[in-house]
Structure 1
């Protein structure tokens, strides 16, 4: 089987890679990621108070506004030539993942089989977004997302091996590297001759990346940095030759003092002093190599500084923000596979005289699984389209897509196993491997808990900038009566209107198809209520909100649901307007999802100010403290012994 498949896919792979690197070299269809960074975009306008107005939908959600630029109509920036090229790659990749890659074997031996790795290199899978002139395929973000859907559909372990290499491993070189750094490193990384890894996490710094202890000190001669430290849980850590490493460096401040700040470096294993621990024995994604990496007196040439000294934290966040959309795309593909596996079983399994797909309990599962996949897919391709369009402000949408996708995929796979019953629990079925693989997605590249806080705090910070004039006026109210009067007039009218049930939300009517108008009204109302809640929080708590994670979580959950609502409304509208096949089914997916999501938004926003909810938050904090103090459960056993 392997020999036949090998010949088939290799011929196709060679022709595609050749096509990409020659005849398409000068066509706009293969604009590289670097060229996208140079695209001109609309310059955000400055407000009277000096704040810059973002085009991000989620960011403006915190002001109760609808800025449609990035979401309505459903964005699609892929050209016909780009679409044709990526379509030509889908079948060979699908064939390869089915006939050549063996996900169960990879899981069993805890590595991607050698012939699979070689085959992926032949297909150009290690340099999907590297510019053509540097041995890559020059794919746009949208093309990349469409291809990794196929990989995620079949083997998340392989997906992580590829993603850790290019989505974060050498992404810093692609985004922030100098021309010389790109020319030196990207060609061998794009072909897979060298594997890359992203080294940020340390034993004492997980989510708190700013607390890393690895240090890099410039030599007295000024020609190199001496790097010392260690990193843990590094994907590709044991097989990588090139590392993007983050370390603290002494940086001279404008006043002449020295302060330790994080800087980023390109480190070669060949420099010496770089070593790796044994592969970690993990719960899932066993095919992906994960290891500790040690740096002992590594001499890193000054020309291998990535960006400027002290900019490492910003670079790390830029890399992670730019990579999250791929995770949502891969998990979208994974959910499709789980739905298909469950549907095949439900179609043939007979219980109590009927096939189980005829029972309402099973039908509800399939409906919810389908909606979760539809939302995830809709979010993923909104984010990558915005990136390809040249927008710079997409970090909240990318974070939400990662949170939603990782939790949705877990639910879908869990329900798949439930539908399969005992068969789903067995190893041969493959679903249990997928469930193990999925668990890490809620943890790495920003835990979902931290990303929720990131969404809430970033959005509230944006709101705070626009409320700053009012805050300043409050310090001297007698001399700022017009400013305060205008604000409180608007503030009062919005709340009175909300209490009376007036439809004060931003209208989507010009952007949407009539068949989803009921969902659009729910979304508009949710946007208005969200804006009011954010404004109330800013006024009531101010900077104290930074420490109020019970509220942050519920605000973030509301933002996630509202973005999901608008994503599916936008997509379904476009399908309806284009008379696409199954557009009516998309309408059903959209409307049922929005009906349910609107209820959750209402519940979460109510809890932000509801007296009973606030008391419960305090009670939960007290319970937690008691558990920590007792180092276990707090209650006595019901038997008394």
Structure 2
């Protein structure tokens, strides 16, 4: 048993700064008893499924049964509200024309206002529809499938533009600003990104300081790539502010402000983009802008938390909008495959086309499952969903890119022409892999957040090992768990939650969770502080976590379909079987790659090649004709 714990003494972890070294344990038997200190290092528990798989736990209570938070009346209300927009899309709205003019026609803009889509989640007492997250998700899926430019326009306004007021605003702020924002008379924007600070939101340079008389803040700086930047009246702006710490030291910390367009607030011309051209995007400039104390969102110095929670809260809306786009693309692809004849047969009769259609539909099923799982978790009061939101955003954006690209491929040359609208879809969905945190950064966020959580649990054992006699219970429990895991006996049991037809898949999921946590521990012990530099390995780990979450969400949804005998249960069963099987294959491949000496050598080779090319400023290999 002692051998099974000994590797823990090699860990060098400090959770205050991800995986930094502390003093290595040298003399376990000489450690003094300090139960009070051991109690202080207790890791805060989390109910996040993704976070807990890093420790080998399967906390699934919030994920089974698949959330159903809408009554029939609430669902019918959304269908009724969106019906006018759907009719417009079918008869009058021309997405290609809207893209050429880069703005909505007045009648379509007025329709959106009449529908209430500018204030979907604003409480009714403040002039909004008062919808919950799932209703918002459904409306986004229904109304935005035709043109993602509309989705970005509306999302930039309410999903992030004034979401800070909904999450952190005072009652006075809500009464003053929300009525105009909810009707669409006033437009909002989210101003976080700067030329030198994209994914690194903590590195922003914009700065706000108190005026000499202390009566207001003075903001200076600039922002870039701001959706609605040229048309918004209000901006949620993040800037560095001087804050006195508990020790009396003055440090810069980010603060969130709700800024009205006025003296000192200007914007650049509309930026010309690859896609989502309907969305107005500009730079913003703040020159000695006066901001009252009443316009601070949340508390001074807590802007980074405000920004991250706004982004976490808004990611499910992206998933639902992309789900609507994917559905539209699949309808176009299937219609063409059923009508187009090649080599004497319909395209639909060829197995290559059939595989494409099947994969596109499975990706849509998974994306849609993630979207409504996430909105359901939020509506059910779950607070710890940041990793699930990050994974859902990554999956949805990449799945949508695949689906629309394959739709274009199925249509062939016709798909490349503007008239079909498919090439517009290809351009529009591309930004979603960059929006609200690039997928690369979000994968590192998932991996490092989970590893920090797992490292904290291992650190408890590390500290306990300093005095084994006083902590025999903890040590014995950990040793037993490792022995059981090594022989495959410590896998979580999901049989009571998953429908009996999918018990084999549930068992595979459980084993994957155990294998995943073992891989996490291997990386922590092998790399300690240097794991933050192993971004290739962290990405593979995040990919495995993503596929484990895919299996969980799909098993939950298909269990609901089987239990409720929904009309589509047969196709859902077929898709869920393959989704789980292929996810398991990818998980196994990614986890094996973390220990493969050949792949690790290749990784180092990639780095060396890149260093040479970067130093040269371009390719180094000679031309074959030289």
User: Tell me, what secondary structure is at the counterpart of 2:61?
Assistant: helix
Equivalent residue, structure 1, for 2:79: 87
Q: Does 1:558 align with 2:544?
A: yes
User: Tell me, what secondary structure is at the counterpart of 1:68?
Assistant: coil
User: Tell me, what secondary structure is at the counterpart of 1:69?
Assistant: coil
In structure 1, how many angstroms separate the alpha carbons of the residues matched to 2:91 and 2:122?
A: 27
In structure 2, how many angstroms separate the alpha carbons of the residues matched to 1:515 and 1:279?
A: 54
Give the drift of 1:62. 1.1
Equivalent residue, structure 1, for 2:247: 255
Is the contact between residue 334 and residue 409 of structure 1 (CA under 8 Å) also seen in structure 2? yes
In structure 2, how many angstroms separate the alpha carbons of the residues matched to 1:375 and 1:399?
A: 15
Q: Deviations over 1:75-129 (max 9, x none)?
A: 1122333223223223223223333432111111122222221211111110000
In structure 2, how many angstroms separate the alpha carbons of the residues matched to 1:303 and 1:256?
A: 25
Q: Does 1:588 align with 2:574?
A: yes
Equivalent residue, structure 1, for 2:291: 300
Q: Does 1:520 align with 2:506?
A: yes
After superposition, residues 120-139 of structure 1 pair within 5 angstroms as: 120-139=112-131
Give the drift of 1:634. 2.5
Q: Deviations over 1:39-94 (max 9, x none)?
A: xxxxxxxx995323211111111111211122122111223332232232232232
Equivalent residue, structure 1, for 2:373: 382
Pairing partner for 1:280 from 263, 271, 283: 271
Is the contact between residue 140 and residue 151 of structure 2 (CA under 8 Å) also seen in structure 1? yes
Q: Does 1:150 align with 2:136?
A: no
Is the contact between residue 100 and residue 116 of structure 1 (CA under 8 Å) also seen in structure 2? no
User: Tell me, what secondary structure is at the counterpart of 1:267?
Assistant: strand
Is the contact between residue 216 and residue 247 of structure 1 (CA under 8 Å) also seen in structure 2? yes
Give the drift of 1:442. 0.3
Equivalent residue, structure 2, for 1:163: 155
Q: Does 1:507 align with 2:507?
A: no
Pairing partner for 1:215 from 207, 215, 218: 207
User: Tell me, what secondary structure is at the counterpart of 2:259?
Assistant: strand
In structure 1, how many angstroms separate the alpha carbons of the residues matched to 2:389 and 2:208?
A: 31
Pairing partner for 1:455 from 442, 446, 450: 446
Which deviates the most, 323-332 or 604-613? 604-613
Computed over aligned residues only, the root mean square deviation of the Cα atoms, in angstroms, reads 1.7
Give the drift of 1:638. 2.2
Relative to structure 1, is the Cα distance of residues 279 and 105 closer, same or farther in structure 2, using a 3 angstrom cutoff?
same
Give the drift of 1:610. 1.6
Q: Deviations over 1:291-327 (max 9, x none)?
A: 0011001001111111111100010000000000000
Give the drift of 1:478. 7.8
Is the contact between residue 320 and residue 445 of structure 1 (CA under 8 Å) also seen in structure 2? yes
In structure 2, how many angstroms separate the alpha carbons of the residues matched to 1:55 and 1:236?
A: 36
In structure 2, how many angstroms separate the alpha carbons of the residues matched to 1:151 and 1:462?
A: 39
Q: Deviations over 1:545-598 (max 9, x none)?
A: 222111110010001111111111110111011111010110111001111110
Is the contact between residue 219 and residue 287 of structure 2 (CA under 8 Å) also seen in structure 1? yes
Is the contact between residue 484 and residue 490 of structure 2 (CA under 8 Å) also seen in structure 1? no
Q: Does 1:600 align with 2:586?
A: yes
Relative to structure 1, is the Cα distance of residues 389 and 479 closer, same or farther in structure 2, using a 3 angstrom cutoff?
closer
Equivalent residue, structure 2, for 1:427: 418
Equivalent residue, structure 2, for 1:547: 533
Give the drift of 1:474. 4.3
Q: Does 1:391 align with 2:378?
A: no
In structure 1, how many angstroms separate the alpha carbons of the residues matched to 2:354 and 2:505?
A: 22
Equivalent residue, structure 2, for 1:467: 458
Is the contact between residue 74 and residue 382 of structure 1 (CA under 8 Å) also seen in structure 2? yes
Is the contact between residue 82 and residue 143 of structure 2 (CA under 8 Å) also seen in structure 1? no
Relative to structure 1, is the Cα distance of residues 503 and 375 closer, same or farther in structure 2, using a 3 angstrom cutoff?
farther
* Structure 1, unaligned runs of 5 or more: 1-46
Q: Deviations over 1:174-215 (max 9, x none)?
A: 111111011111100000111000000001111111111101
Equivalent residue, structure 1, for 2:238: 246
Equivalent residue, structure 1, for 2:8: none
The number of equivalent residue pairs is: 589
Equivalent residue, structure 2, for 1:405: 396
User: Tell me, what secondary structure is at the counterpart of 1:72?
Assistant: coil
In structure 2, how many angstroms separate the alpha carbons of the residues matched to 1:507 and 1:94?
A: 44
Equivalent residue, structure 2, for 1:20: none
In structure 1, how many angstroms separate the alpha carbons of the residues matched to 2:505 and 2:314?
A: 31
Equivalent residue, structure 2, for 1:188: 180
In structure 2, how many angstroms separate the alpha carbons of the residues matched to 1:503 and 1:112?
A: 60
Pairing partner for 1:356 from 333, 347, 350: 347
Relative to structure 1, is the Cα distance of residues 589 and 552 closer, same or farther in structure 2, using a 3 angstrom cutoff?
same
TM-score normalised by the chain length of structure 1: 0.89
Pairing partner for 2:195 from 183, 196, 203: 203
In structure 2, how many angstroms separate the alpha carbons of the residues matched to 1:519 and 1:102?
A: 45
